[in-house]
Amino acid sequence: MSGRWKRFLLLGLAVALLAGSSQIQRSLNGDRKALGLTRVEPLENAPPILAFTTVALGGFRGLISNALWMRASDLQDEDKFFEMAQLADWITKLEPHFVQVWLVQAWNMAYNISVKFKDYPDRWRWVKRGFELLRDDGLRYNPNELLIYRELGWIFQHKLGQNLDDANMYYKQEWANEMAVVFDKKKPNLDELINPQTDDQKRRAALLRDHYKMDPNIMKEVDETFGPVEWRLPEAHAIYWANLGLKAAAENPAKVKKDDLITLRRVVYQSMQLSFQRGKLVSNPLIKAFEFGPNLEIIPKVSKAYEQAAEEDKENHDHILRAHRNFLRDAVYFLYSHNRLKDAAYWFKYLGQKYPDKPILDYKTNSLPANVTLDEYAIGRIVEDVKETDKARITAIVEGMFKNFYLSLIMDEEDERALGFKLMAGKIYEAYMKQIPQERIKAIGLDPIDEGRLFSSLWGCWRRRPEADRGSLPARWRRTRGLRFAAGQTGGPLL
């Protein structure tokens, strides 16, 4: 065979192989996409610079990203978080589907960079940039990545929801202020955002969907499934994003890891527990700020969530049940201290049936449910709680004591009973504050309870009574003032 014919034969063979490989490539791309091995679909709605880099650099994007990532890791080890933030931003533009860089970048801004500032507004700016990065950009390019949903929920649950950061109350107040705009500075009404009628409702519905990337229909589902929750508080948003991650997992079961599902469910039931402890938001017009109280209505669903999590997570089954038992003990005590004795009795019985061989008072090994009455348990918990340093728990107890004090005065109960509630609230308040180091008072100290709040609560209780049972308000007012003077309160803060 001459050289000329040989070249034609090889050229024809090359064309045939290229044509065949193009057909096989389509099948390979489909398999790679189905198995989640790589991304083959183009970016949608990407900014020009991102669209350019992903197309122009081609396969070199990966090499450049790896080099930048190694440098970013070195900067993190050297605590150079600001420089690292810039590199991470470049990596997200080169490789928007590189999930780990989104997680590290958000964590870096919300946790590492924020604490470098002393002023709370500066801290809040970086914390906010952290969760907005995940919400607005990370999920935009990676809508099915469960780790991004988990990290977003965790920032709301932990950074905003817990009190480990001295600025945590500032974060909560700022977030509540933003949500107040969405809900027209009143108790959240999701129905008016689902089906807006007025121009104002349409504007606020658009703000919720476009800026905060939240669907009021899904919010209502969350309320019905896990709530009621307070949408002006961060734990409700932690539940929302974790639940959205679970929905994404259900739509792509072949790409889901079991451990990722467990972490998402953990965000849900831990945030529900947090909502139980202090998930009720009350506006205090006297100080023009918000105060927190326990969300007692959520108790049945929190209990169910713990039991479901224990069934699904066999590896941590015993740990979750231990947490469930502690939750039930808190639920009984909180209900009792808020004068919901029937509900407290029900859950006390349930606690005994579920964990009959476990002591319910930590400092009494023989305090099995069968050996302790509900009243004895409540008193025993008071002894325990004056040793606690959890602001949410102590606030809930003190508020419950004061609620019983108000109701006792309004409903003409024994004076000694009313004063006893107030006295116990004062003792718990004082015992807690004595344990707080001076430098931590601003972060986890209790707010004073003043007489303006007392009379506001007293008036509300009186107004809620049936018309025929209200009696003479002036008489009750004089009686209240008389008891107040008898207790040695002549003006100013009660505690």
Per-residue pLDDT tens digits for 336-352: 877 788 899 999 999 99
Question: Which pLDDT does position 61 carry in this prediction?
Answer: 62
- Residue keyed to tokens 């006893």: 420
Q: How many CB atoms lie within 10 A of CB 258?
A: 9
Among candidate residues 238, 202, 228, 162, the one with its CA nearest the CA of residue 392: 162
Question: Which pLDDT does position 151 carry in this prediction?
Answer: 94
With a cut of 50, say whether residue 59 has pLDDT above it.
Answer: yes
With a cut of 50, say whether residue 12 has pLDDT above it.
Answer: yes
With a cut of 80, say whether residue 109 has pLDDT above it.
Answer: yes
With a cut of 90, say whether residue 208 has pLDDT above it.
Answer: yes
With a cut of 80, say whether residue 390 has pLDDT above it.
Answer: no
With a cut of 60, say whether residue 488 has pLDDT above it.
Answer: no
Q: What is the mean pLDDT of residues 387-411?
A: 71
Do residues 399 and 391 make contact, with C-beta atoms less than 8 angstroms apart?
no
With a cut of 60, say whether residue 120 has pLDDT above it.
Answer: yes
With a cut of 90, say whether residue 175 has pLDDT above it.
Answer: yes
Q: What is the mean pLDDT of residues 225-251?
A: 92
> Tell me, what amino acid is at 244?
L
Measured CA to CA, the distance from residue 488 to residue 494 in angstroms comes to 10
Question: Which pLDDT does position 493 carry in this prediction?
Answer: 40
Mean pLDDT of the chain: 78
Measured CA to CA, the distance from residue 309 to residue 79 in angstroms comes to 37
Question: Which pLDDT does position 309 carry in this prediction?
Answer: 87
With a cut of 50, say whether residue 472 has pLDDT above it.
Answer: no
With a cut of 70, say whether residue 467 has pLDDT above it.
Answer: no
- Comparing 142 with 187, the larger pLDDT belongs to 142
Question: Which pLDDT does position 312 carry in this prediction?
Answer: 83
Check the CA dihedral 267-327-236-441 and report its sign.
negative
Do residues 235 and 229 make contact, with C-beta atoms less than 8 angstroms apart?
yes
Q: What is the mean pLDDT of residues 127-149?
A: 92
- Comparing 254 with 327, the larger pLDDT belongs to 327
Q: What is the mean pLDDT of residues 72-85?
A: 74
Question: Which pLDDT does position 339 carry in this prediction?
Answer: 73
